[in-house]
Structures are given as structure tokens and as C-alpha cells.
Amino acid sequence: MTFGRKLLSATALAMVFAGATAIGGPAPAQAEAKAGGTLVIGSTQKPRHLNPAVQSGIATAVPGTQLFATPLRFDANWKPQPYLAEKWEVSDNGLDITLHLRKNATFHDGKPVTSEDLAFSLETVKANHPFKTMFAPVTSVETPDAHTAIIHLAHPHPAILLAMSSALLPVIPKHVYGDGQDLKTHPANSAPVGSGPFRFVEFNPGENVILEKNPDYFIEGRPYLDKIIIKNYKDTTSLTLAMDKGEIDMYPFLEGARNINRLKENKDLTVTSDGYAAVGPINWLAFNTKREILAKKEVRQAIAYAVDRNFITKALHAGASTIATGPITPASPFYTVDVAKYDLDLDKSKAMLDAAGYPEKDGARFSLTIDYIPGGDEQQKNVAEYIASQLKKIGIDLQVRAAPDFPTWAKRVSSHDFDLTMDIVFNWGDPVIGVHRTYLSTNIIEGVIWSNTQSYANSEVDKLLDAAAKEPDEAKRKADYVAFQKIVADDLPIYWLNLLPYHTAYSNRVGNPPLTIWGTMAPMDEVYLNN
């Protein structure tokens, strides 16, 4: 079943949870679960710090969700489960969510987790996280006692429960982060104090993150692992080799067709696409609409007509990926295929550039640069180089600009210091969480990656997204999102290329691998090693 059928409206959530105690929890650990051992995870993603409250992305989310607990967690069937909140209620009108926190939860420094910490955390995320729409409807958080938090909303918020899971609402300690320092640069971001299943040990930027078992974790008997090491690799080739040789135990967010197929041949490994249901990853080409040339949508459209998405998915990706036609992935109930497609047409592309006022002179029209996220050649570097070769055919000199590491690329793009850039961006389960942030004019925030770094502004888009964020009726929400998709497919601040074929490869000695909707961006307190 696709995740689209699992999304609940605010009204439906109220009907399910109003006045009811959430029962159950994460799936029970298998009988053979063993305590002890070190899980080594390989990654090319190099975090700047480890606090998901003020930073989005895989690099921060994977370690961050082990360090920080969230109010809720979600199972593989899109059902919310207790975590820091042992039960909760949603009011009949969907405007109030009451969370009842566990009384035995403590931070890694021994201080209790309270409703004040939850309120502080939500305010922190709302003010500092690039997903501005995620908690925009929250008007206040009431804390009548130390273990009760009442979240008040200005209007129904269809994604509110989902937004309280994974890396989206880490509960951070107010007594550590509320000291008046800038939360985005707070020293504790690189040596966090959380309440999750694992405690911080060491962070060597560009090399590794080392976490150890939290002996005072609020779920008795967990975690099973003694330690988690997230080891950084230069590129996917070296990472795949390490996985194949048994040097690491797990390779999440594996995306290259060649690497996927290679690891599938290893009898000691399991390779699966499970664990990414809520991610909705899209590989795309983004335009800086503040650049004089790229401010004209005709130029952006002309570039799109010069790029063959079929070649990208079938040749560059060996058929492992599929074409993305818009900002919402096909698994969503809000997706529409009825948008402008921009099938390859070089003659049309040249004619559009001529009409836009950029005739070809001596084989060239103008020069631009294209950036890409380092570390994932198949989805990023190779596609950027292909685009450059295609644009040369229509008279555009496109220079591929490499970045030495992820932070360098992120700084360029978040500072709007780019012409075109490749990017990988997630839907994050509901458009309110993962889609709105890219297209709302109110989310043009310099210095924040994965905000509206394209500087795109369209008042009609703003209105449609605002309406969809408040609408509890799914059919009406879909109508708003269909209209939105048609507009942005015409304006084209982004040219969506392909859906990523994310997989996780893990050693067969790994028990209870993280394969819920958030995969490794969820607590790994149930994971264990067989030997």
C-alpha cells in the first residue's frame, strides 16, 4: 500500500485519537535479540553538526535520531506509536493536541525530560528549521504540569502527528540550549545532550560520529547495541567496496544502480528498498531565479527542453530510477501527472532562447555554472556533466563547479551563490512538511539550506499552499495541490529529474534492521547483532 493511502486528514486524526489512549508501541524485539556489539554504518554524508532541530538532511538526521527522542515514532504501516509521549489526544475540531509525557524519561545528563523542554523544542524548530510550514499553525504550547503539553493550533494541521516523529521534532534540553546563545551555532550541536537510545561520545567532522548505549534509556531493556559508529567515506564507490568487504554493517540511502546490483550479489548481505516510505526523494535541477538570465521562465523552460530525462533514468541510472514530473512524488494522493512535461526538443529550446533575447553568437549565448552535492556521482556529478554537455548543444556554456565537501556546497546554495545546482530533496511524508518549504515566497531565507533557495515567488502558489495546509478534506486538498503543481511546472523554478531508488544494504548478522517509514532516520533501539 502506498503512503498516500495512509495519510490522514486532521478530521480523521481527531476521530481516531480524540479522547483515546494510543496503545502499543514499536514492534516487539524478536526473541533472539542479543545485547552488545558495535554497529558500523557507512555514509558519504558529512554533517556540520548533530542537532536536527536546526538542520535538515540525512547527515544530521541519522545520528540525531539516535541522540534525541521525539514525542512520537511511526511504524512501518504509517501508524503513530508512543515514544516520549506515552499517550495523546486530539480534540474534535483538530485544534488541540494533548501529549502525556513519560515520567521516567531523562536527558543524558540525568535531568528529567519535561513539558517545558517539549515546548522549548517546538519553538526552536519553528524558529530555526528550514521546514517553516511544519509548525507554522502552532500558536502556543501550554504546559499545565511537568508531563503534560497541550499544543494549540490556529487551524487543522493534517501533518501534525507525523511532524512530531523522526528528525522533525527532537526534544532538546532547555537547560542546555536555553542559555541565550545562537541555537544554530550553539556548541552543544556538536556534542549533544539528548534523551535518545544512544549518547554522544565523539564527533570528528568528515570522519565519523561515535555514539554509545544510553544505560538510562526510558524503554527498559533497550537499546541492544553497545555502540553505533557512523563512518564517513569519500564517495559511493569506496563505500560500496567497504560494504562488500564486510568492513561496515549497514549502508543506508544506497542509490546507484551499479552499487545496488553489486551488493545484491553478496550472499552475506540483504539489500532492500524498504524503509523509505516517508522520504519521497527527488533528484532535481534548481535555478537561481534572482540571476538576470534565469529570472526569465522562458530560459528555464528552454533548458528543460534540452535535458532528456529518459536518458538520465535509462542510461545514466541503468533503469534503476524513474522520471519525476513535479514537486510531489507519485506515491502521494496529491500527485498529478497532468503537468507540462518538457520532452527533449533541442530546436524548440534554441527558438525559445532566441525569442527570450539570447541569440547565439559565435556558437555561444551566455555562460552559467552548475553545482552538485559531492559524494553521489551517479545522481549528482554525472547528471550535472550530462546537463552541461546538453546545454552546449543549444549554445549555453555551462561550467560544472565541484565542491570539496557537503558543507561547502550547502553554504553556496543556502547563500544563493549559484546559478544552477543539482539537489536531492525529500517530500517528508506530507507536502506541508517537505514540499511547501521550497516554493513559498515566505521561506526565502538566506543561509538556510533546503528552504526556498531558488528565490521563487508566486502569490497564487502561496495562496494554494496556504489553503492546502489548513484543509482537512482530502479531496479539496488534492484540488489545491493539483493547481499548485500545474503552476510550478509552468514557472519551472526547478526541473524535476528523477525519483531516487533508495535502498539499504545490511549484513545478515543485523537483526531488526531499521525499515519503518523513516528507516535509519528513526531510533535504532531495537537493532541488534547476531555475532
Reference 348, options 398, 408, 302; nearest CA is: 302
For residues 465 and 486, give the distance between their C-alpha atoms in angstroms, rounded to a whole number. 13
Q: Is the pLDDT of residue 415 over 80?
A: yes
pLDDT-derived band at 466 (thresholds 50, 70, 90) equals: very high
| Beta strand 208-213 pairing with 227-232 | antiparallel
Residue of 97 and 46 predicted with greater confidence = 97
Q: Is the pLDDT of residue 472 over 90?
A: no
> What are the angstrom distances between the C-alpha of 452 and each of 52, 289, 443, 449?
19, 11, 5, 8
Q: Is the pLDDT of residue 184 over 60?
A: yes
Residue 6, amino acid: K
> Quick check: do 3-27+35-275+503-529 and 281-499 share a fold?
no
pLDDT digits (tens, 9 = 90+) for 506-516: 999 999 999 99
For residues 208 and 205, give the distance between their C-alpha atoms in angstroms, rounded to a whole number. 7
Number of H helices, E strands in the chain: 15, 21
CB 31 within 8 A of CB 360: no
Cβ neighbour number for residue 314 with a 10 Å cutoff: 15
For cell 502569490, the residue is 459
pLDDT digits (tens, 9 = 90+) for 95-137: 999 999 999 999 999 999 999 999 999 999 999 998 888 999 9
Residue of 10 and 163 predicted with greater confidence = 163
Work out the average pLDDT over 318-323: 92
CA angle (426, 429, 432) in 5-degree steps: 85
Cβ neighbour number for residue 229 with a 10 Å cutoff: 18
Q: Please, where are the H alpha helices in 129-217?
A: 174-177
Work out the average pLDDT over 4-24: 39
Work out the average pLDDT over 41-60: 93
Q: Is the pLDDT of residue 47 over 80?
A: yes
- Residue 301's φ and ψ, nearest 5 degrees, are -65, -40
Q: What is the pLDDT of residue 14?
A: 40
CB 379 within 8 A of CB 256: yes
Of all residues in the chain, what percent are helix, strand and coil, respectively (each to 5)? 30, 20, 50
For cell 535509462, the residue is 314
> What are the angstrom distances between the C-alpha of 105 and each of 172, 173, 195, 219, 323?
12, 12, 7, 9, 45
User: CB under 8 Å to 466, separation ≥6 — which residues?
Assistant: none
Please state the domain extents for the chain.
3-27+35-275+503-529, 281-499
CB 496 within 8 A of CB 309: no
pLDDT-derived band at 57 (thresholds 50, 70, 90) equals: confident
Q: What is the pLDDT of residue 133?
A: 87
Cβ neighbour number for residue 88 with a 10 Å cutoff: 22
Q: What is the pLDDT of residue 132?
A: 86
Q: What is the pLDDT of residue 83?
A: 98
Q: What is the pLDDT of residue 17?
A: 41
**What are the b/e assignments for 143-165, b being 16+ CB within 10 Å?**
beeebbbbbebebbbbbbbbbbb
Bridge partner residues of 198 (DSSP): 213
Q: What is the pLDDT of residue 375?
A: 80
> How many residues are recorded in the chain?
531
pLDDT digits (tens, 9 = 90+) for 324-372: 999 999 988 899 999 999 999 999 999 999 999 999 998 899 999 999 9
pTM higher than 0.85: no
Q: Is the pLDDT of residue 18 over 80?
A: no
For cell 532492500, the residue is 272
Helix (H, G, I), strand (E, B) or coil at 431: helix
For residues 244 and 263, give the distance between their C-alpha atoms in angstroms, rounded to a whole number. 6
Q: Is 93 left (phi over 0), alpha (psi -120 to 50) or beta?
A: alpha
Q: Please, where are the H alpha helices in 18-73?
A: 58-67
Q: What is the pLDDT of residue 4?
A: 35
Q: What is the pLDDT of residue 10?
A: 40
Does the domain made of 3-27+35-275+503-529 have the CATH classification 3.90.1520.10?
Answer: no
Identify the CATH class of 281-499. alpha beta
User: CB under 8 Å to 406, separation ≥6 — which residues?
Assistant: 45, 46, 48, 59, 373, 374, 375
C-alpha cell at 526: 531495537
Q: DSSP for 464-510, please give it.
A: HHHHHHH---HHHHHHHHHHHHHHHHHH-SEEEEEE---EEEEETTE
